[in-house]
Amino acid sequence: MGSLLSGLITGILFGFFLQKGQALRYDRQLGMLRLKDFSILKLMVSAILVGMVGIYFFVDMGWGKLSIKPTVLGANILGGLIFGLGWGMLGYCPGTAVGATGEGRWDAFWGGVLGMLVGAGIFAEVYSFLKDGLLRWGDFGKITIPKLVGINHWIIVLIIWLAMLLTLWVIEKKEK
């Protein structure tokens, strides 16, 4: 029950920050898709950077455990195409569709939330055809960047932080 409660609280906080960062607004989503408004990119990069430090901190302290999923190129490419197609057609990604529904935006509900449920049903129906082919293509197993390059994860975290901060700085300069 504790895991469910912490998941609920985390989800509510995530939705709150998406709403405060204006990521639930259709015009912001469209601006990101058209590479004209980078507010959502800045919000998500900030969340990734903070989350990356938090996760590795908890793992190093023994308060958490990484649950690495296998890297499978076919599954990742298919999932990315479905995600991108849905985001481009609707103007919401899955998280923002649920958040926008919470704000009372019915377009996000009918196209997004119900679309995700229908898509999950379709995927369940075609899974048996895909599982031994496309969903196994490019299976690299459970790898991480630190394991792949053979260095401490904090060095990778630092490199990613520097690269992302540089990226955000360039975006800020271009927007002005």
Q: Is the pLDDT of residue 1 over 90?
A: no
3-state SS assignment for residue 72: strand
102-154 pLDDT, tens per residue? 889 898 899 889 989 998 999 999 999 998 888 899 999 999 999 999 999 99
Contact 63, 121 (CB under 8 A): no
pLDDT digits (tens, 9 = 90+) for 15-48: 888 888 888 888 898 899 898 999 889 988 998 9
Amino acid identity, position 103: E
The pTM of this model reads 0.77
